[in-house]
A and B are shown apart, each in its own frame.
Chain A
């Protein structure tokens, strides 16, 4: 079975400061990892993914994420937060051994609040 944990329900950061949203995962095989963002009354939007290769992955809107195999983590980061980054962020994992197509298992979400 595959699972994802986002230990923080909410992260507060001041505009211009760096931000980190934490994610850890559990899979039996190789993980494929994704971050999505959800703005109010909207569906989820894809931000970035890790499949293989460089552990530091760059995505949309200046976000990046670092894959750490030994710590089974895939934390989302941004060097300088914007108020417009305030949203709900979801980490997701797919296990290559999962038979359900490329069904993703999502974490519980972390609300990011960026204050001016």
Chain B
């Protein structure tokens, strides 16, 4: 597709269960970002990938959160032993990188709405 694709669009899970969220970036975009948006709030940075490596993991809120990216494309964000405070919309974005990338906007997916009951 032409845009960033995220799945599932909605996920309801029980407290203590593990969840996996998927992001398929725009073809050719080597940079990939995960943000979290709590209800009606701003965006909280989670992690950034350049290719398959993650030079910045500073935003991951706890060791229950992890992310990987394989083949420089699809990324998965995994939350283990989910807690109610993990409920939020998880947004993925991708962008170009390289010498002229600093003025390239991020392209966002529609997000995954996670509800932990």
Residues of A whose CB lies within 8 Å of any CB of B are 32, 34, 36, 41-46, 49, 51, 88, 90, 94, 96, 99-109, 111
- Whether, in the assembled complex, B31 has its beta carbon less than 8 Å from a beta carbon of chain A, the answer is yes
- Whether, in the assembled complex, B12 has its beta carbon less than 8 Å from a beta carbon of chain A, the answer is no
Contact A102 B42 (CB under 8 A): no
CB distance from A54 to the nearest CB of B (A): 14
Please name the residue on chain B nearest to A95 by beta carbon: B102
Question: Of A32, A41, A46, A106, which contacts B43 at CB under 8 A?
Answer: A106
- Whether, in the assembled complex, B91 has its beta carbon less than 8 Å from a beta carbon of chain A, the answer is yes
CB distance from A58 to the nearest CB of B (A): 15
- Whether, in the assembled complex, B71 has its beta carbon less than 8 Å from a beta carbon of chain A, the answer is no
- Knowing A101-B101, A102-B95, A103-B33, the reply to whether A43 touches B45 (Cβ < 8 A) is no
Complex A-B: 26 CB contacts under 8 Å? A32-B102, A32-B103, A34-B105, A41-B110, A42-B110, A42-B111, A43-B109, A46-B107, A49-B105, A90-B43, A99-B55, A100-B48, A100-B56, A101-B31, A101-B50, A101-B95, A101-B97, A101-B101, A102-B97, A102-B101, A102-B106, A103-B33, A104-B106, A105-B45, A106-B35, A109-B40
- Knowing A43-B111, A101-B31, the reply to whether A49 touches B45 (Cβ < 8 A) is no
Contact B110 A101 (CB under 8 A): no
Please name the residue on chain B nearest to A106 by beta carbon: B43
Contact A94 B102 (CB under 8 A): yes
- Whether, in the assembled complex, B4 has its beta carbon less than 8 Å from a beta carbon of chain A, the answer is yes
How would residues 43 to 72 of chain B score, 1 for a CB under 8 Å from any chain A CB and 0 otherwise?
101001010000110000000000000000
Q: Identify the 6 closest CB pairs spanning chains A and B, nearest first.
A: A43-B108, A108-B42, A46-B105, A106-B43, A100-B56, A51-B103
Separation of A49 and B103 alpha carbons in the complex (Å): 8
How many A-B contacts are there with CB distance less than 8 Å?
72
Interface size on B (CB < 8 Å)? 30
A-chain residues with CB within 8 Å of residue B45 when the two chains form the complex: 103, 105
- Whether, in the assembled complex, B117 has its beta carbon less than 8 Å from a beta carbon of chain A, the answer is no
A-chain residues with CB within 8 Å of residue B40 when the two chains form the complex: 88, 109, 111
- Knowing A43-B111, A107-B42, the reply to whether A102 touches B91 (Cβ < 8 A) is no
A-chain residues with CB within 8 Å of residue B35 when the two chains form the complex: 106
